[in-house]
Chains A and B, each alone.
Chain A
Amino acid sequence: MMTDAKARTGGRARRIRAMLWTVVLIAAGSMLLPLAGYLYTAAVQAQEQSAGGDTANPRAEYWREVRDGTTGYTAVVGPETNVLIQSRGETWREIRNGPVITLGAIMVVGMIILLAVFQFTKGGAKLEHRTGRKVLRWPMLDRVLHWYTAILFIILAITGLSLLWGRFALIPLLGKEGFAAYASLAKPVHDYLALFFAVGLAVMLLKWFKHNIFEAHDRQWFKQAGGYLDGSHPPAGFANGGEKVYYWVLVAGGAAIVVSGFWMLFPNLGFERSAMQNANVIHGISSLVVITAVLAHIYLGTLGSEGALEGMVSGEVDEGWAKQHHNLWLEEVKKQGGAPASEGSASGRSAPASA
């Protein structure tokens, strides 16, 4: 009996103990299990740290992709509204605010200094012998084309450079309000005149293509560095080697300027930001290269070479100038018409030239 009772109480005690343990386990479990989340994140973090960064986390991967410009859906209509982040803008900012602005300034200012130094040390080429006899070089149409394009180019260069350098060069002078007033005019002027310039440039370059094909004698011209340093007279046709290089700089640079400008001029055509960023950089660089070349051209057409400007003003140059600078062309003109020409009677004569 006693053993029976003992056994019974012992069995009850065991049951109570088991029950107690279960309660404790459940309580501990319910307290500890939610912490597993922290344990998990802690483990993931530790794993990431050992993996050197958050490469092990697929969600981090997800957001990194978003940073690089993944697209999604958006109800808002507009250019690239479905892109969350475009990191290219930062690259564009660095290129535009960095090399384009600073190297551009170094290039343009450098050319001005170079030309000034040349003028003060060597001086421009003097017209050695003025004969008084005139040769037709630039018929009316060519001159109109030249000045039309040249004037537009100067306006475009000034307005364009204002937008590029204005913050540093003009705001200190004019103040923010003053500069903004000028810039709000400069921008539409630049935009609209650009179209007229593009047409002028294209027609001019097409018309003068025949003068600017490189020939064997141009090599000699380059060998003598155009005679600028030693005062010699290397052979040259209608255009000399340097002028041909200038022509091709205008062709390449002009095409780059016009095409890239078009990209920025019509945001309503739906070009992406990346295209406009590229266009802006190309526009800046090619414009700066062409502006630098134009500075040299302006110098060489005026101070740098006595007697050259009258050709682009009246259309006729002195025979002495032609002999000095474009001997092969003069021979050609003489072969065709003999006597020096006067305007009107010989309008076609300059055309064959060296081509």
Chain B
Amino acid sequence: MARMKFLCDSERCIECNGCVTACKNEHEVPWGVNRRRVVTLDDGVPGERSISVACMHCTDAPCAAVCPVDCFYTTDDGIVLHDKDLCIGCGYCFYACPFGAPQYPQKEAFGVRGKMDKCTFCAGGPQGKDNSEEERKKYGRNRIAEGKLPLCAEMCSTKALLAGDGDMVADIYRERVLKRSGRPQTWGWETAYQEDV
């Protein structure tokens, strides 16, 4: 089975936020929730680098370890999903996640958190049949079930953002690095997967 991974090539990302927009549109994510974001370091000075970040679908996911209702599960593809019917909006997964992936729609007054929402690697969630109305409403589209890869990476104009089987992603990236004679910088991989390319 494939082990799905994200990889953002910081030498290529031009901070166009196309991935962010693609994600928001594809899944019709509510206001205030962003499953993906682009962070630019050293903005406006030489050496500026941008990275697109969302849930990295960690091995030994910290979010899953602290969830009081144990609502996370990892698919055969290594995608970390959660069950919104179980989530109580406690915020613990957000405390634990290294990448700031979990998001909460604000519910009512007092800043009470709604049910957690995060990147699903375009793989939907546990409720309903694949791509049923119920699944789409709660988790967005299920592209994986249709044999497609996450839309953010598909739409990336510079192909900085790669998504798919970890080995293939690593091969593509390694080839690039060899051609441009730099050093591989698999940003976030060590944290998420406890390994590098």
Interfacial residues, chain A to chain B (CB-CB below 8 A): 34, 37-38, 40-41, 44, 57, 59-60, 62-63, 66-67, 70, 72-87, 89-90, 92-93, 96-97, 163-164, 166-167, 171, 176-177, 179-180, 183-184, 187-188, 191, 264-269, 273, 276-277, 280
Given contacts A67-B191, A267-B113, contact A87 B32 (CB under 8 A): no
* B179 nearest in chain A by CB position: A37
Given contacts A76-B20, A89-B96, A89-B97, contact A180 B41 (CB under 8 A): no
Q: Which of B60-68, B131-139, B146-154, B166-174 interfaces with chain A?
A: B60-68
Given contacts A63-B185, A280-B95, contact A267 B65 (CB under 8 A): no
Those 6 A-B pairs whose CB atoms lie nearest each other, nearest first: A268-B111, A37-B181, A76-B37, A180-B86, A72-B41, A73-B43
Partner of A273, one of B37, B94, B104, B187: B94
Tell yes or no: B164 within 8 A of A by CB. Answer: no
Interface residues of B in 40-92 (CB under 8 A from A): 40-43, 47, 51, 53, 62, 65-71, 85-92
Q: How far is the CA of A294 from the CA of B112 in the complex (A)?
A: 30
Q: Are A179 and B69 in touch, CB under 8 angstroms?
A: yes
Q: Are A180 and B85 in touch, CB under 8 angstroms?
A: yes
Tell yes or no: B142 within 8 A of A by CB. Answer: no
Q: Are A180 and B181 in touch, CB under 8 angstroms?
A: no
Query: What 9 additional pairs, Cβ within 8 angstroms, besides A41-B183, A93-B96, A268-B111?
Result: A41-B182, A72-B40, A73-B43, A84-B39, A84-B41, A163-B68, A180-B87, A187-B88, A267-B104
Q: How far is the CA of A35 from the CA of B40 in the complex (A)?
A: 32
By a CB distance below 8 angstroms, the chain A residues around B62 are: 89-90, 93
Q: Are B69 and A176 in touch, CB under 8 angstroms?
A: yes
Q: How far is the CA of A63 from the CA of B184 in the complex (A)?
A: 11
By a CB distance below 8 angstroms, the chain B residues around A180 are: 69, 71, 85-88
Q: How far is the CA of A176 from the CA of B95 in the complex (A)?
A: 22
Interfacial residues, chain B to chain A (CB-CB below 8 A): 17, 20, 32, 34, 37-43, 47, 51, 53, 62, 65-71, 85-92, 94-100, 103-104, 106, 110-113, 181-183, 185, 187-188, 190-191
Partner of B98, one of A72, A86, A97, A187: A86
Give the shortest distance, in Å, between A188 (CB) and chain B (any CB): 7
Number of A-B contacts (CB under 8 A): 140
Question: What are 28 of the A-B contact pairs (CB < 8 Å)?
Answer: A59-B183, A59-B185, A63-B185, A63-B187, A72-B41, A73-B40, A74-B37, A75-B20, A76-B20, A76-B34, A83-B39, A85-B99, A89-B95, A89-B98, A90-B62, A92-B66, A97-B66, A163-B90, A164-B68, A180-B85, A180-B86, A180-B88, A183-B69, A183-B88, A265-B110, A267-B111, A273-B100, A276-B95
By a CB distance below 8 angstroms, the chain B residues around A87 are: 98, 191
By a CB distance below 8 angstroms, the chain A residues around B90 are: 163, 187
* B99 nearest in chain A by CB position: A85
Q: Are A73 and B39 in touch, CB under 8 angstroms?
A: yes
Q: Are A93 and B69 in touch, CB under 8 angstroms?
A: no
By a CB distance below 8 angstroms, the chain A residues around B182 are: 41
Q: Are B96 and A90 in touch, CB under 8 angstroms?
A: yes
Q: How far is the CA of A166 from the CA of B43 in the complex (A)?
A: 45
* B67 nearest in chain A by CB position: A167
Q: How far is the CA of A119 from the CA of B104 in the complex (A)?
A: 49
Q: Are A176 and B86 in touch, CB under 8 angstroms?
A: yes
By a CB distance below 8 angstroms, the chain A residues around B98 are: 85-87, 89-90
Partner of B69, one of A84, A86, A166: A166
By a CB distance below 8 angstroms, the chain A residues around B188 are: 84-85
Q: Are B89 and A268 in touch, CB under 8 angstroms?
A: no
By a CB distance below 8 angstroms, the chain A residues around B92 are: 280
Partner of B95, one of A38, A177, A277: A277
Name the residue in A40, A73, A179 with the highest tally of chain B Cβ atoms < 10 Å from its Cβ: A73
* A92 nearest in chain B by CB position: B95
Partner of B38, one of A74, A166, A176, A179: A74
Partner of B88, one of A78, A177, A184: A184
Q: How far is the CA of A105 from the CA of B190 in the complex (A)?
A: 33
Q: Are A78 and B103 in touch, CB under 8 angstroms?
A: yes
Q: How far is the CA of A183 from the CA of B85 in the complex (A)?
A: 12
